[in-house]
Amino acid sequence: MARDLRARLAATLSTQSLAYIQRVTTATLLTNMTSDVDAVKLFVSQAVGSLVSSVFLIIGASALLLSIDWRLGLAVIAVLPVIGVTFQVVLGTG
């Protein structure tokens, strides 16, 4: 992923005007590209960890709720697809 992102950044950079390339130093370009790619990598790694822990939390809470009161547990679990669709619509992935 990081390699593809760096390649796309380099391709975008190669389309910039000569005036821009002369105005910005090489060190600034490299620092910006490196820090941007590192920020994206950090975000993705944290998002994956958060997603996995959230899934386990939902599964564990659902199991606990079902063991306490199965009718209430089923009512709460029935709402989960609505929440999922809402997230997809709000985030624009649906």
Q: What is the pLDDT of residues 26-39, one digit of tens each?
A: 788 888 888 888 88
Number of domains into which the chain is organized: 1
Q: What is the pLDDT of residues 11-58, one digit of tens each?
A: 887 788 888 878 888 788 888 888 888 888 888 888 888 888 988 998
Q: How far apart are CA 35 and CA 41, in angstroms?
A: 10
Asked if 41 and 3 count as a contact pair (C-beta separation under 8 A), the reply is no
Q: Which domain holds residue 69?
A: 2-91
Asked if 44 and 17 count as a contact pair (C-beta separation under 8 A), the reply is no
Q: How confident is the model at residue 60 (pLDDT cuts 50, 70, 90)?
A: very high
Asked if 74 and 66 count as a contact pair (C-beta separation under 8 A), the reply is yes
Which of 56, 86, 55, 61 is CA-nearest to residue 76?
A: 61
pTM of the model: 0.53
Asked if 5 and 33 count as a contact pair (C-beta separation under 8 A), the reply is no
What pLDDT does 10 receive?
A: 79
